[in-house]
Structure 1
Amino acid sequence: MYRSPARPPFVEGRPCTTCGTRLVLTARESDVLDLIALGKTNDQIADAHKASLHAARTWVDNILDALHATGRVQAVDTACRVGLLNPPATLRSSDEEPKVPELELEAFRLKAVGRSKKRIAQELSLSPHTVKSRLHRLYKRLGADGAAHAALILHGLKLLPSSHPCHTSETTGAAR
C-alpha cells in the first residue's frame, strides 16, 4: 500500500488571508491526491492502496468535492495553491528547465482553473484541435504523465499562480 512518509490523520492547507478558508483532507485523501498529482489513474490508485476500483473512485470524487474542483487538473492546481501539495522545485533529471512557450502556458492556465478545451478555444479564438495540440505539446515538453502531472510540474517551476483560488475571478465550466 502506498503511504507518504509519516502524515498526521488530517492534512491542512494554508489559510487564505482574504477569506480565511482552510482546506482539510484526511491522510488517505492526501495520499490519493499525491497519486493524482503524479498522473495516476483510478486503477493505479486502487492498486497502490490494495482497494477496489469503486473505493478509489469514491476517494477521488471526495477530493474533487473537498477542493471544489471540476476535475483532477483543477484539484492539483487548487491543492498547490493552498499548500496541500508542495511540488518539488525540480522534477526533471536534467539541470535544464524546460522552455515553455507562452501560447501553451496560456491554454494550460485556463485548463488549470477548470475550463474545457472547447471553452479555452472560444476564449483564445482558436480551434479545439489547436488547443488540444498545444496542451499535448506542453505535456511532452514537461515530460508529464498527463494534465494533472503537468499542473504539479508547472507549480514547481513557478509558472502557475500561487495565490489562493478565491483570489481568481475565473468561473469554471468544465465537466469532471
Structure 2
Amino acid sequence: MGAMVAAVSSNGTYSFTKPNRPSIRLLSGLGVEGDVHAGVTVKHRFRMAKDPSQVNLRQVHLIQEELFEELRGAGFTVAAGELGENVTTRGIDLLGLPVGTLLRLGDEAVVELTGLRNPCAQIDTYQKGLLKQVVGRGDGGTVTHRAGVMSVVREGGSVRPGDSVVAELPDGPHRPLRIV
C-alpha cells in the first residue's frame, strides 16, 4: 500500500486543534477553503503582528500519522487534527522531503512544501511536555522539528481520507526543509 491521506481537518476560527472533516477543499494560492489560515498573506496571529504583509507559506499544514504513534509510546495521546494540521498522512516521510517537493493529494490537489512547522508554547498548554517531544536535538546537537510541514496550494481540489499521496521531487540538489 502506498502513501495516503489518513485524515483531513479544518477550522474557521483560531483554535489549537482542528476538527476532522469528511473532506476539505484546497484553493489554489490560498489554502483550505473556510480555514482560518487560508490566504495569500500570513494568517498566523504572531506572524501577522510582526508583519501582516508577509507571503503565506503556511497555507496547508501536514503531519505524518506515524508521529502520533511515537508520541503514544512516550505517554501522550494525540490524534489527527489535534496539533492543528489540515492533512494527516500515512506512509510517507514528510520531514525527509526537500523544499519544493510537490505532493499530489488524491486526483486533483497539489501542494508544494515550503518548510517545517515551528510549534509554539501553546503545544504544552494542550499537553504538558509535548513541545519537548516534537522539538528536540538530533545528531551533533542540531535542533530537530517534528511537528509537521507547511505548504502552499499549487492546484486546488478536494482531499479526503483514503486519497493517495504521491511525491514529486524538485530538480536540482536536495534542499532540506527549514522553519517557515
* Larger relative contact order, structure 1 or 2 (CA cutoff 8 Å, min sep 6): 2
User: Which structure has greater helix proportion?
Assistant: 1
TM-score (norm 1): 0.29
User: Which structure has greater strand proportion?
Assistant: 2
TM-score (norm 2): 0.28
